[in-house]
Amino acid sequence: MVDIVPEPTTGPTRPAAADTRIWNRLALPGTLWMSVFFISSLLLVAALSFGTTDDLGNPRFGTTLDNIRRLGAPAYRTVMFRSLEYAALTSVLCLLIAYPVAYAIALHAGRFKNALIAAIVVPFFANYLVRMYGWSVVLSDDGPVLRFLRATGLADSHTKILNTGPGVIAGLVYGFVVFMIIPLYAALERLDTSLVEAGRDLYGGPLRTFLFVTVPATRQGAAAGMVLVFLPAMGDFVSAQFLGGPNQIMIGNLIQDKFFEGQDWPLGSALTMLLMAVLLVGMFGYLRRARKDEAEATR
């Protein structure tokens, strides 16, 4: 019998440690840049949320909790819940739209994969304001969407999309759906197709195989896409400004109004901190779930 002697494992660890040191040093300038400027600006906003304004509207640092208390006003609560609702609906709609697109490209597009991904991504390099302005024309009363719906009997002459909640959500979906397609495409590209074949060999059927094999295997990509869509949608103010009108404003519009028109920087800072708190809760939830999935995968 031939004895199998395990190969020494000391060799690969030394270059890995050296690589770690090199990359840590290369990452140091960027880390310092982000730490200094991001944290300093964040601390400034946090400190200003406890401040006041003088008679001329200039912001003053302070220790008052009045701005925090003002966030509990019904008007602000309504806008906050509306923003959460719109961002959540946008994330779900983006998932429903993006999954079939990413699935078709990743598993059935063959050599046209890169061209199709480029065709999806390139239009999103255009300025966001310009795209939302164009979208407002598309959703206007005389736009092609309402004309089509009226011609097919799905809408009448009184139906409106612009300056409504569905109009804002349509703009948010249009603006951020690419953030869902890319992580889903990456997850489907890494999908072990032998698992799908095994599911079909076990008479799972296409639908059951998709639901119980493909979807669980790509849930990290879906979760990443949900986060990437929800976070910017929650703080977006352009879509509500162009497509929602005065009755559909979101928390991003309130922050913009307090800083640039209302000259109430302390209240704008308090709104900003509230928005960041909500986003951090979502981010920590995602990271916790991702860490749990990673631990299960390595067992």
Q: Of 209, 211, 208, 231, which is closest to residue 219 (Cα–Cα)?
A: 211
Residue 77, CA atoms < 13 Å, CB-side half-sphere: 5
Distance CA 66, CA 291 (A): 39
What backbone phi and psi angles, to 5 degrees, belong to 101?
-65, -50
pLDDT tier at 178, thresholds 50, 70, 90: very high
Q: In this structure, what token pair is assigned to residue 198?
A: 């095994």
Residue 43, CA atoms < 13 Å, CB-side half-sphere: 6
For the stretch 99-138, pLDDT in tens is 999 999 998 888 899 999 999 888 888 888 888 888 889 9
Q: In whole angstroms, how far apart are CA 146 and each of 90, 133, 160, 174, 175?
A: 21, 17, 8, 17, 20
Check residue 86 and give its pLDDT. 94
Check residue 170 and give its pLDDT. 92
Distance CA 103, CA 109 (A): 9
144, 138 Cβ separation under 8 angstroms: yes
What's the angle, vertex CA 283, arms to CA 81 and CA 39, rounded to 5? 100
Residue 13 confidence (pLDDT) above 70: no
Distance CA 193, CA 171 (A): 35
Total residue length of the chain:
299
For the stretch 26-69, pLDDT in tens is 888 888 888 888 888 889 999 999 988 887 778 888 888 888 88
Looking only at the bridges linking them, the beta strands covering 52-53 and 59-60 are antiparallel
60, 53 Cβ separation under 8 angstroms: yes
Check residue 58 and give its pLDDT. 83
pLDDT, mean of residues 270-278: 90
Distance CA 173, CA 168 (A): 9
Residue 4 confidence (pLDDT) above 60: no
Check residue 5 and give its pLDDT. 46
Interacting residues of 249 by C-beta distance below 8 A, sequence separation 6+: 79, 82, 237, 240, 241
The label of the residue with tokens 């909640």 reads: 165
Question: CA torsion angle for 136, 137, 142, 145 (degrees, to 10)?
Answer: -70
